Structure formats: C-alpha cells, structure tokens
Structure 1
Amino acid sequence: MPTPAYFARAPPFPPFIPTATLPTLSLAQLQSNNASESTSLYAACISHGFFLLDLRGVSSGEALLRSAELMFDLMATTFGLDQSILEQYPIQPPASLLGYKRTGVMRNPDGTPDAMDVYTISRDDMLGVPGAQRRNPTPIEEKRGDVATFFTQASSVVAGVLTHLEAHLGLAPGTLPALCSPDRPSSTVLRLLRSEPRPEHDLRRITLPGHTDIGLITLLFHVCGGLQILPAGRLESHDNWLYVQPQPGCVLVGLADTLVEWTAGILRSGLHRVVSAPGDQARVTRFSMAFQVKAERGATVRRLVGGRIPRLGVGEVEDERGVEEWAAWRGAQIFKGALRPETRGGRTVGEDR
C-alpha cells in the first residue's frame, strides 16, 4: 500500500458497509521469526487465502512502500498519456497479455463491457532476462531502474512469506522461493490498473468479474475500495460479496491457484472481483496495482512431495503439465464456461478434496 500521502488524496472509505474481516500480519514480526505470527499467516492461507501484511516498522517493508508510491506516480503519468500513444503498446492475446488493454474490450458475465484500463509490465523485461526485453511507453522506459527496484523488493517480501508457508507445510527450506526466483524466467508481472469514476446510478457495476488468480501469490496495492471477496461457503450473490478496506502501510496478499495445486488443496485461493468503489470514492479515479508472482517457466503443477502434503490417492493421476500450459488451459476452460470460477483449496490434512 502506498504511504499515507496517497490516502490523503482520496475520499475516506465509508463506514457501515459490509467489509471482510481479514487478519493483519506484521512483516517485522515475520522477519524476526515470531512463532505466533507465523502460525497466524499459515492459518490465514488455509481459511481465507488472503491477509493484510503491514510493511511498516522494518527497513525492507518501508523501502517497498516508498517504491510502491513511485509506481503509483508512474502509473498516473503513464495513463495520462494520450490514448493514441497507449494504443501503440497493445496486448496481443492469447500470445501475450503484456502491454496496454483499454477499457471496454472485455465483457463481464452479464454482457456489459469491462471498466478498467490495464498496463502490464514484465518482471523479466525490467530485470534484463535475455530475450525478454520489449518496448514500453516513454515514462516506463525512463523509470526502468525504479521499476526493477520495485520488482526486486516485492519479490523479496514474497519469498519471506513463502519461507514461512513451506516451514508449516514441512517442505525442505528454500523449496518454494526457488520455484519463483527473480533470476529464473517466469511470467511474473506488475499490472497497473485504472478505473474511471462511476456515475451515481452505476455504483454497483462490476469492473472485473469474479475470479481466482492463476499464479502463486498476488500483492495488491490500493487506496480506494472496490476489491471484494466472496468468503468460503457463501453462495455467489451480490449481497454475499464483501469489500476489502485498504489500509495505509499495508499490502493485501492473496494466494493463487498454482499453490493450491502444489499443496493438494491445503492452501486456499479465494474468489475475488472488482466493483465500483463505495461511497464518495466511486467519484474519483481508482488506481491500483497488482504484483502477480508466477512460477518459473520450467515448473510443472505436479504436487510437491513431502511434509504435510498428502500423496496421490487411489485412482488419482499426477498432473505433469507445465505451469504455462496449465494456466492457458484453465483460462480457456473458464472462458468457455467449462469451469466455473470458485474458491479453491483450504483443507486440513486428512480431509477429502
């Protein structure tokens, strides 16, 4: 989450609206290996699939907050370019989702157009992985050093979270961070997101429909509300979705589908969506950014071996597909309606899948 300076620029989050109750964990406590904080992290990743991570009070967290604020500045400059310039860097699905997607080119389940501008930056591009470099708008090119620093700092925070998770799962130290190391090619990205103000009659509009993320972990930096989660066990109706209230100094951490696959459903990937911001926040432009960590390109979705993760049961077949192939397949199945987006995982050892 950017520093309080950005929160001061936006209307306050309104009181008395249904909000999700998520645990807030301290990066400082996790880095000092506080056992209680580590246990709370693991519990949150089973029961919710989301938690707030307070970055304050430790140098690495404070540095990431400053970098996030620079990225918000860069986002405002980039989206402030003329539309004709942004259109020179279009996404090219299905081959590539890097670059610019303008509002309205996608459709929500109810047939309405989406309401979000997106510019997606590749970590491999910014960190100089051979063969990954691509053209970006001038503001991004001029700030390559700052963007690379953000990627490095955010990746380090994610590695710390994964280190605690693998300890509770009983995996060998270093197993999970090694599978998404910044020095190995991956599809890890930073998505810059902008939603324009909504008119009063359109405040319930869906900006991004319900979904789970396909990678490993997402760090969401946001100031205005709009993100909603559907708690496990609730039917997917409008009144059951709960807003997540952004908090100064904190980043929202969400687990994604590949971790569910690797852990045989122990960890949870929660269903979430984006709608118009609540209250007066709906009347200002909403900026947010999602750092989406993916596994290295050579990894598969085969479940990890050892510790608490159960072996294959009778009749179960190991999935040997690579993470890129599996992600493409899952996305296509959801697009065709063969798979319904839903919360996945969140079981204790010994439960049926």
Structure 2
Amino acid sequence: MPTAEYFAKSPPFPSGIELIDLPQISLASLRKNTASEAERLYKASREWGFFLLRLDTGAKASDGGDSALLKDAETMFELAEELFSLDQETLDKFAYDAPRDITGYKAMGKLKTDDGKTDHMHLYSINQDDMLGNRPRRTNAPPLEAHRTEIQSFIQNAHAALRTIFDILDTHLGLTRGTLSALCPLDQQSETSVRLLSSPAQYSPEPDRISLGGHTDIGAITLLFNVVGGLQILPAGRENVAANWRYIKPEPGCAVVNIGDTLVEWTGGLLRSSLHRVVTAPGEQGGVTRRSVAYLVRPANSGSMRRLKGGRIPPVGDGDEEETRSVNEWAAWRSRQVMLGQLKPQTRGGADL
C-alpha cells in the first residue's frame, strides 16, 4: 500500500474487526537473502497463499527500489481517480470483450457475485505488452495514453520486486534460481496486466455486500496496493458463509502478495492459491470510494502448464494425467469452466500442511 501520508486521506480502518494475521515480509531483507525472512515467505505461500510485502519508505523515490515502487503505486492511484472520473459514455467506448479479451474496461454491475447479486466494482485492465511495446499499441482511455511512461515505470518496479520473491521460492522449492522468473519474463508476450479498480462510495453501506465475488487468481502471482479495506480471505477448510471470511487490514508501506493458480499447478499443489473477495469496507470506510491497483503476472503465452520437475515438487502420481496444455489453452479452459458454473472457485494447494 502507499505511504502513511496517503492513508491519512481516508477514514481509519476500524478496530474490533476479525482479521487474517498475515506476516509482513521485508523486501529489503529478502534482497539480502535473510534466511529467516525467506523461510517466513515460503511458509506463508503454503499456509495462506498471501502475505504482506513491506517496502522500505526511508529512501527517496529517486534512489529506486522500494520507495520508487511506492511512489509509482501512488501515481497509479491518482491515475485511477482520473480514469474513473470520466463519464460513463466515454468509459464504455473502451469496454472489454469478455471472455475473448479482458483488456479494457468493465462497468460496475456486469458480474454475478456469490450471493446472486451483481458486483459493485469498476475495473480497467491494462495489457503489459501494450505498455512495453511487445505488441502493436492498443487505443486506451485518454488518461492511460497520457501516462504510458508512468505505467511502464510501475510495471518495471513491480516486476523487479516479484522477481526477488520468485528467486526465494525457487530456493525453497529446490529449483534452479531463476526458474520461475524465466517463465514470466517482461520481454515475451503474456496476458500480464495492470488492473485499476474502483468501488464507489456507499453512503448507506450494506455490511458484507460483495463488491467483487470470491475467486482465485488464475495467473502466477499478484501484487496489490489498496488503502481502504474490504479485501477478505476464506481460511482453508472453512465453509463459505459470511461469518468465516476474514479481512486483510491495509498497512502503510506494504503491498499484498498472493499466489495464483498457475503456481499451484507448476508446483504440484505445494503452494496455495486462496479464495478471496472484496466486500463493503468496514466502518466509516464504507462511505468513501475504494480504489486499488493490482499487477497480475501471467506466464509467457508460449509457456506450458506442465508441472515443474525436481527439488521438493512431487512427481505426477501413477494413474494421474499430466497437464500438457499451453498456458493460454489452460487459462481459457479454466475460465470457461468457471463462467459455465462447472467449476466452483475454491482454495487450492498447500499440500501436506
């Protein structure tokens, strides 16, 4: 999440709320290969599939590193505010063509939520390849076209942070360092995106109203920045009822990192992809607009969903069918299953915990 100064612009997260006690993992310590911090990351990636990534706010943004990423995140929040201030007619010109292509704008109320109602979330997905020049340019909404350089900076700094996390996971999975990063490169085409989200203020907020329904992320890993609460996890093994969901409290100087379904597949279920959703922010926060910025990393389109081999990763069992589909074939199949109601989103992985 952005800095404490940015948090001060919104009402505080209320006390007395049942929370998930996620560990805060220091990115600076990971970069120094601090063994205890790396072990905490691996444990969280198996137990929750979520953790908070603490970024160093001490250095100037011009020095690069953690503080540059925080500054970039604040710029993305400002960009989201500008984008979603456009009139509805203009935004609708950039509507995505789901499920064929989910790049572009999705209006609030287009998706069904777990309780059969409709979502309360505007979102705009920005294609990474478009921003980095790996494919011909798309035509995006005017604020995005005007801020391509800032979006590129966010992508590059966010990717650098996640590359450090991939390296730690490589080590603890017994893989050659660089294995996971090589599967999700910046210079090859993928469906990786920056997603700007906005849930309008609810002046008479309905407690636990679902703004974005329960789901797991289909990609490899996600880096999320948010200031106002509302993000929840359903702990593994719990029945999907309102009383069992737990909030993640936003913390200044931290981002939320969560493992996606692709990493569960590649690791034979060692890592965990947890069911999560967004509901009305608690307390006074329910009366303000909730914005968030996500960097959703997907593998290269040319990649395979075949389970990785070696280290701690269990081999495919006798009688089990090995996954051989390409990244895009598997993602399309899985998305279609969910949309047709043939697959119910649920927590996956975390084997032998």
TM-score, normalised to structure 2, is 0.96
Could you tell me which of 325, 338, 342 is aligned with 1:334? 338
Report the equivalent of 1:165.
169
Residues 1:68 and 2:83 are matched in the alignment: no
Given candidates 223, 226, 229, the residue that maps to 2:227 is: 223
Q: For residue 23 of structure 2, what is the aligned residue in structure 1?
A: 23
Are positions 1:300 and 2:298 aligned together? no
1:169-184 mapped onto 2 (5 Å cutoff): 169-184=173-188
> Separation in 2 of the partners of 1:224 and 1:201?
14
Checking the alignment, whether the CA contact within 8 Å between 2:102 and 2:125 is kept in structure 1 is: yes
**CA distance in structure 1 between the aligned counterparts of 2:236 and 2:65, rounded to whole angstroms:** 32
Structure 2 SS opposite 1:202:
coil
> 1:224 is aligned with what amino acid?
V
CA distance in 1, matches of 2:99, 2:171: 37
Q: Following superposition of structure 1 onto structure 2, how do residues 49-64 of structure 1 map, counting pairs within 5 Å?
A: 49-56=49-56, 57=58, 59-64=64-69
SS in 2 for 1:67: helix
Distance 1:121 1:3 in 2: 24
> Unmatched 5+ residue regions in structure 1?
none
2:112 is aligned, of 85, 91, 107, to: 107
Q: Which residue of 2 aligns with 1:192?
A: 196
Counterpart-to-counterpart distance in 1, 2:188 and 2:85: 33
2:124 aligns with 119
| Residue 84 (str. 1) matches residue 89 (str. 2) | yes
Secondary structure class of the residue paired with 2:28: helix
Give 1:199 deviation, angstroms: 3.9
Alignment match, 1:37: 37
Partners of 2:116 and 2:27 in 1: CA distance: 41
Q: Tell me the SS of whatever aligns to 2:292.
A: strand
Question: Quick one: distance in 2 between partners of 1:142 and 1:27?
Answer: 31
Q: Give the secondary structure class of the aligned counterpart of 2:291.
A: strand
Find the aligned partners of 1:54 and 1:108 in 2 and give their Cα distance. Answer: 31
Letter of the 2:322 counterpart: E
Q: Is it true that 1:135 corresponds to 2:139 in the alignment? A: yes
Q: Is the 8 A contact 2:205 2:280 kept in 1?
A: no
Which runs of no fewer than 5 residues in structure 2 stay unpaired? Answer: none
Once the two structures are superposed, what CA deviation does each residue of 1:28-72 show, in whole Å capped at 9, x if it has no partner? 100000011001110110111000000115741111000001111
Aligned 8 A contact 2:267 2:307 in 1:
yes
- How far apart, in 2, do the equivalents of 1:201 and 1:261 lie? 38
- Does the CA-based 8 Å contact 2:208-2:242 persist in structure 1? no
Aligned counterparts of 1:299 and 1:97: Cα–Cα separation in 2:
20
Separation (CA, whole Å) in 2 of partners of 1:109 and 1:233: 18
Partner of 1:203: 207
- Superposed displacement of residue 201, structure 1: 5.3
Kindly indicate whether the alpha-carbon contact (under 8 Å) linking 2:205 and 2:287 is maintained by their aligned counterparts in 1.
no
The reply to whether residue 146 of structure 1 matches residue 144 of structure 2 is: no
Partner of 2:314: 310
2-structure distance, mates of 1:4, 1:91: 34
Paired letter, 1:144: R
Query: Which moved further from structure 2: 260-269 or 98-107?
Result: 98-107
* Matched letter for residue 181 of structure 2: P
Structure 1 match to 2:102: 97
Q: How many residues align?
A: 348
Tell me how large the CA RMSD over aligned residues is. Answer: 1.2
Q: CA deviation at 1:253?
A: 0.3
Match of 2:343, SS state, is: coil
Deviation beyond 2 Å, 4+ runs, structure 1: none
2:234–2:275 Cα contact (<8 Å) kept: yes
Question: Contact between 2:226 and 2:293, CA under 8 Å: does it hold in 1?
Answer: yes
